[in-house]
Amino acid sequence: MRLEQLFPAAWPVIGVIHLLPLPGAPRFGGQMTPIFDHALAELDALSRGGVDGVIVENFSDVPFYPARVPAETVAAIAAITREVVTAARVPVGVNVLRNDAAAAVAVATATGAAFVRVNVHTGVVMSEQGLLVGASHETLRLRAALKSQVAIFADVGVKHAAPLAGRGLVSEAIDTAERGLADALIVSGDRTGSATAISDVTTVAEGVTLPVLVGSGATADNVGAIMAHADGVIVGTHLKRGGIVTEPVDPRRVTRFVANARDTG
């Protein structure tokens, strides 16, 4: 898959829409309207800053379910994602945290979203939710059964986790590409907002022919170096006011980030 098939830019910048807590989550506020309004406001700010795509995440639903999320979460994400897809002028993605790839593919297919992010597509990792187990065999069969064209962006060396068997990034990347049939790979730092090591990006990129995106730690100051080695970037924290993940998206930070990313091309 070529990223140009999904995004207008050769090195796409994908902004993250961190949703407010959804129904069923401990911090849910009791009303859906503020969640819709917040998601659309974040989309507007990201769009005004010039991003090439956005991805919707149930970021505030901590503590996360390790695998399948409940019906109320799927329903809420689907409803919000459809609103975002309808309003967006760029491709939209879905990430159902912590690792419900089936829900993500189903929501993306039903709402007209273009891609999903899967934190653990192959292999097994230890996380704060316990063991996260890849289910690429189910995810790919579900996509085929739905006759879906949704692209699968899969993490390797996923953040907030450690592999049970240290086979190395190259082996993990090759297996995720060749045996997990992912469409693109994502390389990240250790935690949300943590810098991604350029050496990890180049290691993965040299081992596979798939597009490789950076999934955390990108800033306006380092995105040039990142884009010299990666095929795109997913950015959330840095685009928020003051670079604080819980704050709203700041269009000025988005504009500067995108401009610096473009200079790389």
Residues 6+ apart with CB under 8 A from 145: none
pLDDT above 70 (res 193): no
Q: What is the rounded distance in angstroms from the CA atom of residue 105 to the CA atom of residue 144?
A: 10
Give the model's pLDDT for residue 128: 86
DSSP 240: B
Average pLDDT, the chain: 93
How are beta strands 151-156 and 212-214 bridged, if at all?
unpaired
| From 51-65, 101-115, 120-134, the region with the lowest mean pLDDT | 120-134
pLDDT at 173 over 80: yes
Percentage of the chain lying above the pLDDT 70 cut: 95
Q: How confident is the model at residue 51 (pLDDT cuts 50, 70, 90)?
A: very high
pLDDT the model gives residue 264? 62
**136 in Cβ contact with 180 (< 8 Å):** yes
Number of CB atoms found within 10 A of residue 246's CB: 11
**Cα separation, 253 vs 180, whole angstroms:** 36
pLDDT of 222 strictly over 70? yes
Mean pLDDT of the 151-157 span: 93
Positive or negative, the Cα torsion across 4, 58, 255, 263? negative
**Structural domains of the chain ordered from first start:** 10-264 (3.20.20.70)
pTM (2 d.p.): 0.94
pLDDT, tens digit (0-9, with 9 covering 90-100), for 200-216:
899 999 999 999 999 98
DSSP label at residue 4: G
pLDDT for residue 221: 94
Whether 141 has a pLDDT exceeding 70, the answer reads yes
Under DSSP, the state recorded for 8 is S
Give pairs for 89-92: CB < 8 Å, separation 24+: 89/47, 90/7, 90/8, 90/47, 90/51, 90/52, 90/53, 90/54, 91/6, 91/7, 91/52, 91/53, 91/54, 91/115, 92/53, 92/54, 92/55, 92/56
